[in-house]
Amino acid sequence: MADILIMSSSATKKQIDNVIKKVKNLGFNVHISKGAEKTIIGIIGDTRGISDETFKILPGVAEVISILKEYKLASREFHPADTLIKVGNVEIGRNTLTIIAGPCSVESKAQLLKTAEFIKRCGGKILRGGAFKPRTSPYSFSGLGFEGLKILKDVKEQTGLAVITEVLSPEDVDGTMEVADILQIGARNMFNYRLLQKVGQVDKPVLLKRAFSATINEFLNCAEYILKEGNRKVILCERGIRSFDSTFTRNTLDLSAVAVLKKETHLPVFVDPSHGTGRRDLVIPMSKASIAAGADGLMIEVHPKPEEALSDGFQSLSLEMFARLMKDIFPVVKVIGKKL
C-alpha cells in the first residue's frame, strides 16, 4: 500500500513529473506538497492493491509511506501544511482566529439585522443563523425554512457579512448554497452519509460539527466522506459531547479534542462553546480556553434579547456580552500568535 511518496532533496523536476505521471497512469490523482527541501506526493484513491515497490524503483523517490488509518485525505501525514479556507476576504485557518456569531435561529429580519450589524462592528467575520432547525422535540420551533434563508440573503447583502447556515438533508443543499457561504452540518447529522456525500460534491466550504458521542476517529472519518467526494474545504467543530454529568452544563466541552485534532489533521478546527456548555456565563471563559488549546475559530450564539429567543436563549450572549467576549479574547489571540 503506497500513499505518500517522499522525493529525495536532489530529485529533478523531470523525475518528479515522471512519478506523477506514473501515479496518474495507475488511475489515481495526486496531492503535491512542495517543501523547502523535498516534494511530497500524496496518492489520492484506494491504494491497497499497490505495492511500495511500484514507486520505490523510480529515480528520485526517497521513501514510500503507507497510511494505515482509515482516513487519509484528512490526515496530517498526507497533507502536512494547515489548510487555509477563504470565504470572500475572510481567512479561516493558519494564523487567523475567525469569529462566527449570530442567533441560534433566524427569527425575523429585524432580529438578524440588528445582531449582524453589532457583530460586524465588534470584529465578527461570519454571521450564523439557522433556517432549518433540528430540534430535540418535534413540537419546538423548527425554523423559518426558506423564509429564513431569504432573511439571511437580505442581511448578507446589507451588511456584507458572509453567512453560515445548517442543511438538514441533501435536498436542501442546492437551495441553501445560493445564500450560504458555508454549509453547516449539525451534530445530529454528522453520521448522515448521504448528506456528507452531497456536500462533498459541491464547491462550498462545510463546517462539520462533532456528534454528541462521536469518537475522534468517527469524526475524522465523516470529514473524509466529504473530502473523498472532492470538496477539500472542510472545517471541524467541537461542540461538546455527552458525558455523565449534565447537571451543571448541557454538554462536556472536549478541549482535548481540539489539541488532538490539530495534531491529526490539517483541517481548521473550531469550537462552539455555546452548545458546548449550554450556559451564557461559561461562554467567555471557554472561548479563551479554546483559543489557548489551538482553535482556529469560535462559533458563538448571540441574540439581541436572549430571554425572548425562540431557541437556545439560555446559552445565547446578549449584544453587550458579545462585545465583552471580543475584548476578553483579544489578549489570548495575541499571545497565541494569531490575528483576529
Task: Give the binding site for ligand PEP (CB under 6 A).
Answer: 104, 130, 134, 186-188, 209, 239, 272, 275
Query: Does residue 312 bind Mn ion (CB under 5 A)?
Result: yes
Q: How many CB atoms lie within 10 A of CB 266?
A: 20
CB of 75 to ligand PEP, least distance (A): 24
Question: What Cα–Cα distance (Å) separates residue 281 from each residue in 103, 116, 246, 285, 289?
Answer: 16, 21, 16, 8, 14
CB of 208 to ligand PEP, least distance (A): 10
Binding partner selected for residue 276 from Mn ion, ligand PEP, none, CB under the kind-specific 5 to 8 Å limit: none
CB of 316 to Mn ion, least distance (A): 8
Q: Of the listed pieces 98-106, 165-173, 181-189, 216-224, which binds Mn ion according to CB under 5 A?
A: 98-106
Among 104, 152, 155, 223, binds Mn ion (CB under 5 A): 104
Q: Of the listed pieces 7-15, 206-214, 251-259, 308-316, which binds Mn ion according to CB under 5 A?
A: 308-316
Question: What Cα–Cα distance (Å) separates residue 167 from each residue in 131, 149, 180, 198, 236?
Answer: 9, 11, 10, 11, 16
Which of 25/136 has CB closer to Mn ion? 136
As a whole number of angstroms, the distance between CA 93 and CA 337 comes to: 13
- Using CA of residue 17, residue 23, residue 24, residue 28, what is the dihedral sign? negative
Cα-Cα-Cα-Cα torsion 99, 105, 107, 109, nearest 10 degrees, comes to 30
As a whole number of angstroms, the distance between CA 157 and CA 143 comes to: 21
Secondary structure class of 141 (helix, strand, coil): coil
Position closest to ligand PEP via CB = 186
Question: Angle CA(261)–CA(262)–CA(267) in degrees, nearest 5?
Answer: 85
- Using CA of residue 168, residue 174, residue 175, residue 180, what is the dihedral sign? positive
Which of 143/200 has CB closer to Mn ion? 143
Binding partner selected for residue 264 from ligand PEP, Mn ion, none, CB under the kind-specific 5 to 8 Å limit: none
Query: Does residue 107 bind Mn ion (CB under 5 A)?
Result: no
Which of 5/152 has CB closer to ligand PEP? 152
In the block, which residue shows the cell 448521504? 194
Which of 104/325 has CB closer to Mn ion? 104
CB of 23 to Mn ion, least distance (A): 44
Site pattern 268..307 for Mn ion (x: CB under 5 A)? ----------------------------------------
Which of 138/337 has CB closer to Mn ion? 138
Q: How many residues bind Mn ion (CB under 5 A)?
A: 2
Cβ(109)–Cβ(154) below 8 Å: yes
| Per-residue DSSP letter, 38 | -
β-sheet bridge partners, residue 40? 6, 33
CB of 186 to ligand PEP, least distance (A): 3
As a whole number of angstroms, the distance between CA 264 and CA 229 comes to: 20
CB of 186 to Mn ion, least distance (A): 9
Which of 7/310 has CB closer to Mn ion? 310
Which of 99/220 has CB closer to Mn ion? 99
As a whole number of angstroms, the distance between CA 191 and CA 209 comes to: 10
Q: Which residues contact Mn ion by CB under 5 A?
A: 104, 312
